[in-house]
Structure 1
Amino acid sequence: MKIYLAMDDTDSLDSRGTGKLARATGAEISKEFHVDGISRHQLFVHEDIPFTSHNSCAVIHIEAEKRDDKEWIYETAKECMLGDFVEGSDPGIAVACADEILPPLIAYGRDAQRIILNQKKARTLAKTLGIRLEGLGGTEDGVIGTMAGLGLAKAGNDGRFLMCGQIREMTGPADVATLCAAGVDAVYTIDGHEVRDGMIMIPEGKSAKPCPVDGKKILFVENVDGQYHSVKRG
């Protein structure tokens, strides 16, 4: 059973980012359940929306055994977030089984990428769908992006993975076979050709950032002077 745990607005300009907190939270959850990946989703950037640097949310993708497991997952994540609360942040957290994320929430996620939304709509939607949603401090505006994250992650074809498999343990250039063994399902050029072998140029100190595409983790690359260079999308 797939369970999604979303978080948003957990940082400030001078603190660690939401992605780092999501990875730390994912590490705690992985002590009990398999974490399939952690995805980042870009939300609407507008002068009337408070955000730190990029206005993105993070979602942890978890393989669980039964529906009730989401309560343990939620409480564990909440403890991690409160234990690393950053003054000036307005965090939100939500958890849902895949079959609880219905079309209205997926549409809400898409809306959050193009228009300004508010807490009332997020909370009403959560109540209607029976999704556990909570603000953990500040203005609690993070509940807006948190609900959006659930919809975007479940719909797929959005954002990029901050973590999946052992991909973060590999930095710098790597060959296709090694990348696939580490967690990438396939490598494609941005113009549609599958790359089955050879080296992929990834900046030193950086790891590959595959994207969710139809249930697969796809790394996109572009050919520059005969070399394939990884492309960061989402």
Structure 2
Amino acid sequence: MTDWLIAIDDTDDIGTKGTGEIASEIGELLQAADSAGRVSFVTRHQLYVHESIPYTSHNSAMCFSYSGSLSLAQIRQMAIAHLQQECAPAADPGLAVVDLALLTDRAALQQFGVQAKQQVLTKAQAYQLAEQLHVSLSEHGGTGQGVIGALAGLGLRLGGNDGRVKGQFQLGQADAEPQAYSVAEVLQQTGLDGVLTDQGEWLADDATLWLAGKVKAVFTQGRFALLVSAGASGWQNASKQQLKDY
């Protein structure tokens, strides 16, 4: 099996299907084509917000991993066809795909991702780095500006300490009243790797969590984690403000 990272950016417009949903659908197509393969959660990576950078609402890239037997050509064929079908007419979509075994300089790719959170980068910089690192990078409409975010999404996901998991987890909790769950129950129901406190502590399986409202996860220390903080009744799911750090 080959381990791949796949990222897309700038596929949507106001009122259209979001980039995260399109990324999830590409993952589902890959899984359907390779039932023995494994597709991960999709992570959302916040990029630099600047007046010279066009974006729909938040300027974020989406990334997921795929491990399986499909070739680069097959992955690209399915991803590109779906982008062409689902992207908004006004979008500037970019697609980045990398075989992790062939990636020549992980640090350089990670650094590009960090830079994309802090400054304005160019398509020329993205293409130059992609060529150096043997990353497949391509644009599929509009200005193609999304190649910058797509490449940055690979780097940020590769760094292991950036990104929120797309969507939220439904555990049966009420919106207003917190309900008690053990860490083990949460991991079994969600497929996450662990529960992490905002102080950096991984909780034991028998620890009790009090969850209410939107239950969201982050990607940190190379793991998919439910982020929690100390509340009046015990460990509770992190606030929207705490999640913004990712």
Residue 107 (structure 1) aligns with: 111
**Match for residue 211 of structure 2 among 188, 198, 201:** 201
8 Å CA contact 1:201, 1:227 repeated in 2: no
Amino acid at match of 1:97: D
Contact 1:38 1:161 in 2 (8 A): yes
**1:171 Cα shift?**
5.7
Match of 1:216 in 2: 223
* Residues 111, 155 of structure 2: 8 Å contact kept: yes
**Which amino acid is 1:94 matched to?**
A
Shift in Å, 1:85:
2.0
What residue is the counterpart of 1:90 in the other structure? 92
CA separation in 1, counterparts of 2:74 and 2:185?
Answer: 34
Alpha-carbon separation, structure 2, partners of 1:5 and 1:174: 36
Q: Aligned equivalents of 1:42 and 1:4: distance in 2?
A: 17
State the 1:178 CA deviation.
2.2
Q: CA deviation at 1:8?
A: 0.1
The CA deviation string for residues 95-128 of structure 1, in whole angstroms up to 9 with x for no partner, is 1011316222211111000000011111111122
* Partner in structure 2 of residue 8 of structure 1: 9
Deviation at 1:79, TM superposition (A): 1.1
Corresponding position of 1:74: 76
TM-score (normalised: structure 1): 0.88
Q: Secondary structure of the equivalent of 1:40?
A: strand
Report the identity percentage: 31
Gaps of 5+ in 1: none
Specify the alignment match of 2:39 in structure 1: 35
Change (3 A) 1:6 1:171: farther
- Residue 57 of structure 2 is aligned to residue 53 of structure 1: yes
Describe the shift of the 1:20–1:101 C-alpha distance in structure 2 as closer, same or farther (beyond 3 A).
farther
Report the aligned-residue RMSD.
2.0
Partner of 2:191: 183
Whether contact under 8 Å (2:163, 2:218) holds in the other structure is yes
- 2:200: which partner in 1? 192
> Take 2:52 and 2:180, find their aligned partners in 1: how far apart are those partners?
42
Shift of 1:5: 0.8
Conserved 8 A contact 1:174-1:202: no
Structure-2 separation of matches of 1:174 and 1:46: 42
Aligned residue for 1:229, secondary structure, equals: strand
Does residue 163 of structure 2 align to residue 159 of structure 1?
yes
Partners of 1:37 and 1:62 within 8 A in 2: no
Question: Which whole-Å CA distance do the structure 1 matches of 2:75 and 2:210 have between them?
Answer: 36
Structure 1 runs of 4+ with >6 Å offset: none
Letter in 1 for 2:68: A
Partners of 2:104 and 2:134 within 8 A in 1: no
Measured in 2, the distance between the counterparts of 1:170 and 1:56 equals: 27
Q: TM-score, normalised by structure 2?
A: 0.84
Distance 2:147 2:219 in 1: 23
CA contact (8 A) 2:97 2:135 kept: yes
- CA–CA distance in structure 2, aligned partners of residues 202 and 69 of structure 1: 42
Q: Aligned in 2, Cα 1:134/1:151: closer, same or farther, shift over 3 Å?
A: same
For 1:15, give the aligned amino acid. Answer: T
Q: Cα distance, 1:194 vs. partner?
A: 3.6
Once structures 1 and 2 are overlaid, which stretch shifts more, 169-178 or 1-10? 169-178
